[in-house]
Structure 1
């Protein structure tokens, strides 16, 4: 998929987290986290900018998702240190879920294209594709963007309403 499709997929995957964040921590944190998710949705495709890294190679694996999740978790945990151990662990967990979840959403969006993904490389060479739509399909990319944005927006608003 292209940027619009990946942002939409990331926002859709973020929806349950956004609901919980809005309900527990407020609309501002949930909206900020949604912006971070949208901003990082294309991180796996940075492989196209690195000459020695193959596109849909290591950056399109579960190992990369775990690494990004750990990095986000460290940042989240660091942000929570002033609030004590509960805040530290809570924000570390949220950071991990946001980072890993965003990368996994990217993988899932690429899995619907004919090129597919090899999420367990280099340990296993299993190839996964649903071969539903070409990555360059503008209708599919815009549909994912609109659907993901709507689902995330409604989830965050519902969470804010529940949380008061």
Structure 2
């Protein structure tokens, strides 16, 4: 896929994680995590910048996902040293997850086109492809971007802990006679 398709796939997949974080009140973590995933979404395509690397070679493997996750841990390591042990471990795991997640999202987007990916190369040269759409298809790339943005916005609006219930939900509750405590207090 081209960049819009990769961004769309990353947004769509991260929306699940973002929703889980938002619904538990971790707004800053959800937003910053999404930003990190988006910033690393094109990282596997850096192979085009080096003549020694083959496109969709080593940078399009699960091994590379593990390496990028480790790189992210090293990037934040200095800020984690002075934190309590449990918090430092949690921060390192979060950094590893975000880096690896971004690469896996990239691989899943590339799985949609005929060229596919070899996720465990050089252990196995097996090529996996769903052959749904060509990477050069602008309509598919922008449709994936639009879908990713839409899914991310839906996750944002549904997951925010401070979000008011939607009009449809309030009407449903009122019809069933189930007004929430907040709505009763607000009515007084």
Please give the TM-score of this superposition, normalised by the length of structure 1.
0.89
Aligned residues: 164
Aligned CA distance change for structure 1 residues 67 and 162 (closer, same or farther; 3 Å):
farther
In structure 2, what is the equivalent of residue 146 of structure 1? Answer: 146
In structure 2, what is the equivalent of residue 59 of structure 1? Answer: 59
Structure 1 residue 77 displacement after superposition: 5.0
Report which of the two has the higher share of helix: 1
Give the ranges of 4+ consecutive aligned residues of structure 1 lying more than 4 Å apart after TM superposition: none
In structure 2, what is the equivalent of residue 10 of structure 1? Answer: 10
1:26-77 C-alpha deviation (Å, 9 max, x unpaired): 3233212211211111000010010110000000001001111122234345
Q: Are residues 1:72 and 2:72 paired?
A: yes
- When Rg is computed on C-alpha atoms for both structures, the one with the higher figure is 2
Structural RMSD (CA)? 2.1
In structure 1, what is the equivalent of residue 136 of structure 2? Answer: 136
Task: Out of 89-98 and 128-137, give the one that drifted further.
Answer: 89-98
C-alpha separation in 2, matches of 1:141 and 1:119: 22
**Structure 1 stretches of 5 or more lacking a match?**
none
Please give the TM-score of this superposition, normalised by the length of structure 2.
0.78
